[in-house]
Amino acid sequence: MATDPILMSAKPSLFTRNRETLLRTLIPICVVVGLILLWQVIITVNGIPQYILPGPLAVANSLYNDWGTLWPALWVTTQITLQALALALIGGVGIAIFLVQSKWIETAFYPITVILQVTPIVAIAPLILIYAPTTQVALLICAFLVAFFPILSNMVQGLKSVDHNLLNLFDLYGASRWQTLLYLKLPSSLPYFMTGLRIGGGLALIAAVVAEFAAGSAGAGSGLAFRLLESQYRLNIPRLFAALILLSVLGVVIFMITSFIAWAFLHRWHESSLKREN
Amino acid sequence: MITSQAPLMPAPGDMRKRPLVVMRNVSKMFSSGTLALSDMSLSVEGGEFVSLLGPSGCGKSTALRIIAGLGDVSSGTIDWPSSRINSKGLPEGDISFVFQEPTLMPWQTVFGNVHLPLKLRGFSKAAAGDEIMKTLATVGLQDFADAYPRELSGGMKMRVSIARALVTKPKLLLMDEPFAALDEITRQKLNDDVLRLWRETGITVIFVTHSVFESAYLSNRIVVMKARPGRVHADFPLVTSMSRDAHYRTSEEYRQACEKVSNMLLEAIGGEEH
């Protein structure tokens, strides 16, 4: 009885495990480096001008030289995205808890959240720009509205998917509403929350960029999206590419952070974070 | 009061005192219009091991849930003559329930799962730690306190569920076909464990099952139920001269007990459908 079945299973030797990790890292890197080389070769061989398609060298050059302009813009976009995501997390979880309190509350308020979600953000951005005190706040509201819904709908689903027998058990032991929420409903909906977080993280960035397109065209703002448009007007295509690369790096970093948070919370117990062994 | 020198196998007769729980003419109608229980009366004394046996749909699980306070009765009453009653009409802290599935929280360790009933009463991990480890030891899981439910076998998960039910030291343990999903070997072992815990703690058990052999092995009183609508068909004691162990399983006495229970069950089913 004293031996743990998990510990008893033979582990692969350190060498094979390290080799697999190494290959997992090396292969994607090689593919990306290969594609960049191919890109440079095509540009050089065909003599494509920079204002149509800049080579990777020109883009790297622009990234380095224009860092003074790009870095503050990246920072602005990052701030808006993270603030919007944080607000969406608080709002989404809070409203989800409010909605599942009773069937009538959900019937009354859920349609409103759906309307907010299905209305295209670009369409309401000009309106928000009018009402919001500053462009920053307007961008924040736009990004929040988009990121908020997947978190809300996942949380509602999670809070409703609690094991009925566990609910019975909590009733039997005379648990209060607050205890049931804290010890049962919230932990039980953690996997759903994590799905919402990952989708919401990606959407917050997209919304921040889209909203800035709308705001930027009105002549204000200094995020990456505005720099992107500006580079296009000035036919500074290498800088446009540089801004684009920064945006995708930001997206990847957000994805990695949210994935890591999900893994850190779920890997001990949830099926989605377990390795399948047969 | 249970004397300090309680006999190994308390027969239903030797503990004449106020019953622990009394169901009087209880009926239960589901919202679908199905009559799940019709005019059921049952009185359980402290220290009894009662099996509710019957075909599926006879309302035995419904009866158990009603005793636990999960769901209201349509008519009739439930009394707890020897317990203090809370505002919901339930004896506070006196009942525990073991479901058919282990019903563990997958995000909590074994320790955390057993801690739950005490946590809901405001005992911290530190305050409840000794009690939890003691209870885990009684089901043989003291070395698995830090394991998560997914790392355990079906039988071990069930043991955790039993430990969680026992950690509050309840007077009455309600078990709803707890071992129905387990293999025969695990099931026998857990049957023996439950019997041992019953003897050691003097707890009262109401055990729902559809297995003649399980009920004849475990209980000292059997209530056979009939379906459509659910009601009591027969209610009789099952006193044996032997202690119930591996030896009893192959004895003539056990065979006779099984035969008696089996005939009662056949009557209950037969009277209904032919």
Given the DSSP bridges, would you call strands B95-98 and B35-44 parallel, antiparallel or unpaired? Answer: unpaired
Question: What pLDDT score was predicted for residue A13?
Answer: 60
Would you call B56 helix, strand, or coil by DSSP? coil
Confidence class of residue A185 from pLDDT cuts 50, 70 and 90?
A: very high
Domain range list for chain B = 17-94+183-274, 106-169
Average pLDDT over residues B199-205: 90
* Strands of B204-209's sheet in order across: B95-98, B172-176, B204-209, B49-53, B221-226, B231-237
> Which backbone phi and psi does A269 adopt, to 5 degrees?
-130, -20
Q: Which helix (H) or strand (E) holds A121?
A: helix A121-131
Test A269 with B147 for CB contact under 8 angstroms. Answer: no
Predicted confidence band of residue B108 (pLDDT cuts 50, 70, 90): very high
Contact A168 B97 (CB under 8 A): yes
Residues 80-99 of B with CB under 8 A from A: 86, 88, 90, 92, 95-97, 99
Q: Where are the alpha helices (DSSP H) in B16-124?
A: 60-68, 110-119
pLDDT band with cut points at 50, 70 and 90 for residue A187: very high
pLDDT tens digits, one per residue of B262-271: 888 888 887 5
CB of A166 within 8 Å of any CB in chain B? Answer: yes
Half-sphere exposure of B98 (CA within 13 A, CB side): 29
Which ipTM score applies to this complex? Answer: 0.84
| Cβ separation A183–B95 shorter than 8 A | no
Q: Which residue of A has its CA nearest to B71?
A: A168
Burial degree of A255 (CB within 10 A; 0-12, 13-18, 19+): middle
Is A193's Cβ below 8 Å from some Cβ in B?
Answer: no
- Distance between CA atoms of residues A269 and B113, nearest Å: 13
Q: Chain B residue with minimal CA distance to A265?
A: B107
Q: How many CB atoms lie within 10 A of CB A47?
A: 6
pLDDT on residue B17: 67
Contact A173 B106 (CB under 8 A): no
Average pLDDT over residues A6-32: 74
Mean pLDDT for all residues in chain A: 86
* Cβ-defined contact of B97 to A169 (cutoff 8 Å): yes
Which of A259, A226, A255 has its CA nearest to residue A243?
Answer: A226
Q: Is the pLDDT of residue A93 over 90?
A: yes
pTM, rounded to two decimals: 0.81
**Pairing state of beta strands B231-237 and B221-226?**
antiparallel
The nearest alpha carbon in chain A to B67 belongs to: A172
**Assigned architecture for domain B17-94+183-274:** 3-Layer(aba) Sandwich (3.40)
Asked if residue A9 has pLDDT above 50, the reply is no
Model confidence at A87: pLDDT above 60: yes
B123 touches chain A (CB under 8 A): no
Longest dimension (CA), chain A: 77
